[in-house]
Each structure stands twice: as C-alpha cells, then as structure tokens.
C-alpha cells in the first residue's frame, strides 16, 4: 500500500519551483536585434515574458497530473538544457537597448541560479525514498538547507524585479502592470510544507517495516513538531489569496498525518512487544515437549492477533491517505489553473511624458 503512495508522489513541486522564472527573456530571432526605440524593446521583452510564463505554468499543471518519476527526471534535464541554451542565445543575440544590457544580465544571473538549484537538488522536492534512508538529524538539516536555498532563490527574483524597475525608470518607461502577490512563491511554500510531512511519514513507514519502536516514536515526535509548524504557517497564509483551497488541503493532510499517532501508537507497540516475545522464545530453544509446543503456539496466536489488529487499522489509514494525497494533487493543480492565469495579450509599456 505504501509503495502505491510513493508511486503517486507528486512531481508538481519540481516544475512549480522551476516556474519561479517569472520573466524569462527569449529572443525571437537568432541574430542580434537593434530596436528603434525603448517601447519596441520593452514590448518585445513583454511578449517573450508572457509566452514563457504561460508555457511554464501550463506545463507545471500538466506535471501535477503526470506523476511519473522517469518523466520528472527527464523534464528537469530538459529544463536545464533549455535554460542553458537560452542564456547562450541571450549573450549572443541580445545587445540590450543602446548598449545597456543590465536587464539582460540580471535575467541571465537569475536563470543561472535556477540551473544551479536544479543541479544541486535544492529545488527537488520528490526524493522521499532517499530522505527516508537518512537520520532524522540529517533530514532536519536538509529541510533547513532547502528553505535557505528557496529564500536565496526568491531574492534573486526580487533582484531581477529591482533591475527591471531601474531599467524602465532610466528610460522613462511606465509599465501598466500592478503589484501582485507571487502565486508561484506562495505555491512553493505550500509545497515544502507538504514535502516535509511526506518525508517524515515515509521515515515512519520504514520504522514500521523494521518494527523499530524507538524510530517510530522519534518519527511521531517530529511529525508532531512539523504539524505545529504547518498549522502556524498556514495560519499566516490564510489571507494571502482569496482562494484558500490549497491552504486548507495542507491543513487537512497535516492533521491526518499527525493524527496517526493516536490511531496507531498503542497497536504498534503491542504488536512489536509480542513480536519480541516470540523472537526470544524462538532463540530460547527449549526442549520439544507437549507443554512447550502448546506455549509456543499460544505466543504465535497472540502475535498474529496483535499483528493483524495493527495492520487492519494501518492499511485502512493508508487507503484514506491515498485519497487525501490525491485530493491534495487535484487541489494543487486546480489552484494553479484558477490563480495562475496570465493576460491573453502581452503587457504594453508607454513612455512617461
């Protein structure tokens, strides 16, 4: 059952994080262009921005529904190759406006940051199997690093936005765009909350398979801590967008993962305790007598009862978890579709008189 959950792990977070490239500049020609005026330069810039924003968002939504690990890895490789090619084209064909390449250079720097983050894994949020092999301390360190990288990545995007404002101000260009919340940044922070709960839940699954009471208890403690963080963060996110569907889905999923302790804790401990009794009896190698065989059979029956009681409940929780997980996927996809729409025509810029 757990394997089926892993096979359905969302790869949306990878593409959602990649979608942080909100304003990619792609030259429309393979040769250098000379623009007759600044509005022509910015209008062409805006058309390319819109094209890439829509393409990345559409592809991000499609990846939510794909859920294939092989496709996810192939997609990341393709994106890196594409971004490297874009940077090369920009350097070779975009000479800026009147020799001013500050906007182009800022984009290339941001683009390079995206490539670096994809290559070093800081934007990869689907490595549940790998993370579950690490110690809880190592997992915590990785969580902190991913969040640090996320903050640094967004700072690079903000640097780009600042460079764009400086550039347009220099040439007395006014953008009709208005300040708006960054839906992809918001989505990324929601995704990382979801990621953390899934990593620790997978670690918990490993503890159950290994019948490790201490690891089980440690995982439950960390899940409780992560649940508290999720509730705190989602409370902060409650009024960021009118659409709170993704926020609510994260709360519901986190509540369920944390609620497993009350459901499973006593049953698991009883099951493992009886397993240890049986193991000690096996290793005792008592003489084969009618009384000893009867005692052994009693212990086996008790063990099977405890085991079946635990797994009956555990398997039921897995069925519910699959439904909730799939609901989160659907909610995430729908949220992006409903809130990530861009204008059907490119942004116009005008000279300030």
In tens, the pLDDT along 97-149 reads: 888 989 889 888 888 887 887 787 776 677 778 888 899 999 999 888 888 88
Question: In this predicted structure, what is the pLDDT of residue 153?
Answer: 80
How many other C-beta atoms lie within 10 A of the C-beta of residue 210? 11
Q: How many CB atoms lie within 10 A of CB 181?
A: 10
pLDDT at 75: 66
Highest mean pLDDT among 103-112, 267-276, 283-292: 267-276
Top pLDDT among 286 and 70 is at: 286
User: Can you give the residue ranges of every domain in the chain?
Assistant: 2-265+310-351
Whole-number Å distance between alpha carbons of 222 and 98 = 56
Q: Is the dihedral of CA 200, 203, 205, 208 positive or negative?
A: negative
Residue among 136, 294, 273, 106 at smallest CA distance from 203: 136
Global model pTM greater than 0.85: no
The CA distance from 144 to 161, in Å, is 26
pLDDT value, residue 60: 55
Query: Kindly report the CA angle at 324 between 316 and 253, in degrees rounded to 5?
Result: 105
pLDDT mean over 48-64: 55
Closest CA to 38 of 346, 353, 348, 351: 351
pLDDT averaged over the chain?
79
- Give me the mean pLDDT over the 67-89 stretch: 70
pLDDT at 128: 79
Q: Does residue 72 carry a pLDDT above 50?
A: yes
Q: Among 38-42, 73-77, 81-85, 255-259, whose mean pLDDT is lowest?
A: 73-77
Q: Residue 118 and residue 323: Cα distance in Å, rounded?
A: 30
Q: Report pLDDT for 96.
A: 84
Confidence at residue 223, expressed as pLDDT on a 0 to 100 scale: 96
Per-residue model confidence as pLDDT tens digits over 175-202:
655 445 677 788 888 989 999 999 999 9
Stretch 201-221: mean pLDDT: 96
pLDDT at 114: 78
């Amino acid at each position: 059952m757990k394997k089926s959950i892993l096979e359905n792990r969302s790869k949306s977070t990878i593409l959602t994080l990649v979608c942080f490239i909100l304003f990619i500049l792609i030259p429309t020609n393979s040769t250098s262009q000379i623009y007759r005026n600044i509005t022509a330069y910015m209008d062409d810039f805006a058309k390319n921005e819109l094209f890439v924003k829509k393409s990345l968002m559409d592809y991000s939504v499609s990846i939510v529904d794909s859920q294939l690990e092989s496709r996810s890895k192939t997609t990341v490789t393709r994106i890196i190759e594409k971004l490297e090619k874009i940077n090369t084209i920009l350097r070779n064909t975009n000479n800026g406006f009147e020799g001013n390449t500050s906007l182009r250079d800022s984009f290339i720097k941001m683009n390079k940051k995206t490539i670096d983050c994809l290559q070093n894994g800081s934007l990869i949020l689907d490595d549940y199997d790998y993370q579950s092999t690490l110690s809880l301390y190592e997992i915590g360190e990785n969580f902190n690093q991913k969040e640090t990288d996320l903050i640094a990545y967004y700072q690079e995007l903000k640097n780009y936005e600042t460079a764009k404002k400086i550039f347009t101000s220099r040439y007395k260009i006014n953008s009709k765009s208005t300040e708006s919340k960054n839906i992809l940044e918001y989505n990324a922070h929601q995704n990382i909350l979801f990621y953390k709960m899934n990593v620790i839940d997978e670690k918990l699954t490993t503890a159950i398979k290994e019948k490790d009471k201490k690891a089980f208890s440690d995982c439950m403690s960390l899940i409780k801590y992560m649940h508290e963080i999720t509730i705190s963060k989602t409370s902060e996110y409650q009024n960021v967008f009118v659409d709170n569907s993704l926020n609510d889905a994260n709360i519901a999923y986190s509540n369920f993962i944390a609620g497993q302790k009350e459901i499973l804790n006593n049953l698991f401990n009883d099951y493992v305790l009886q397993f240890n009794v049986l193991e000690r009896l096996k290793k005792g190698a008592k003489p084969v007598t009618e009384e000893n065989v009867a005692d052994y059979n009693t212990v086996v029956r008790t063990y099977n009862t405890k085991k079946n009681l635990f797994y009956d409940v555990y398997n039921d929780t897995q069925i519910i978890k699959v439904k909730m997980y799939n609901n989160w996927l659907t909610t995430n996809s729908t949220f992006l579709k409903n809130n990530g729409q861009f204008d059907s025509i490119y942004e116009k810029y005008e000279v300030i008189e």
